[in-house]
Copies of this chain bind each other. A is one copy, B any other.
Amino acid sequence: MAYTSEYPPFYVAVDLVILTIRDGAFSVLLVERGGEPFAGRWALPGGFVGIDEDLADAAYRELEEETGVGATSVHLEQLATFGRPDRDPRHRVVSTAYLAVGADLPEVRGGSDASDARWWPVSDAVRQGLAFDHREIVEAGVERVRSKLEYSDLALRFVPRQFTMPELQAVYETVWGVELDPRNFARKVARTERFVQETGEARRGGRGRPARLLEAAGATELMPPMRRE
């Protein structure tokens, strides 16, 4: 069966801004483009949405294809939609960007197509020329995360299920690019009821005093919020 139309068609895509902290760097997953346009340039993972597929489902599908990580333990939310008529030189593509945040996301080499895929520190990623308008999309995702650390539990998505207070503090310091006072930080986290709770265990094996292991306790808002600057 074929469809005809008086007008050229829209293509609808999803792009993923997958963020994690790797080796102490706030990082985004990029794939190297094999073909034109922008061959050899780095771009966000993404793809076209099926005609019967929900946008969020398409985002999950792309996420799993690129990282092998299921929805479990990865936070996924809609970021924004980018639809400038000239953003793709081939067709009219409207792309809804999704933001994914996870802990310990796996190393990736070679995506579904033969092209390369790797984690980039976000500062390096936006400095180089990304394909399409992906620099703008990455910046929107990064700003969303920086902002949501202030008042939400998003920081907990950057650490494993069990984590320590210094690890959680490092999330804020890495994402915001600032240094925080550990005493004030711990006080603020502890003040929010049901934000984190003690597991009773501790992380041993490193140097120095072992840090107590914490886990999320259900609260989704940090109240009062943590403030930048």
Contact = CB atoms under 8 A, between A and B. Distances in A.
A4 B1 CA distance: 10
A85 interface: yes
Interface stretch (A45-53, A106-114, A190-198): A45-53
B83 A55 contact: yes
Contacts of A85: 51-54
A6 B9 CA distance: 11
A49 B3 contact: no
A80 interface: yes
A106 to B, nearest CB: 29
Nearest to A14: B83
A84 B56 CA distance: 9
Contacts of A55: 81, 83, 94
A8 interface: yes
Interface in A1-52: 1-12, 49, 51-52
Interface string A77-114: 01011011100000010101000000000000000000
25 contacts: A1-B6, A2-B4, A2-B5, A3-B4, A3-B5, A3-B6, A3-B8, A4-B5, A5-B5, A5-B9, A8-B51, A9-B9, A9-B10, A10-B51, A51-B85, A51-B92, A52-B92, A53-B85, A54-B84, A54-B85, A55-B83, A55-B94, A83-B96, A94-B94, A94-B96
Interface of A: 1-12, 49, 51-55, 78, 80-81, 83-85, 92, 94, 96
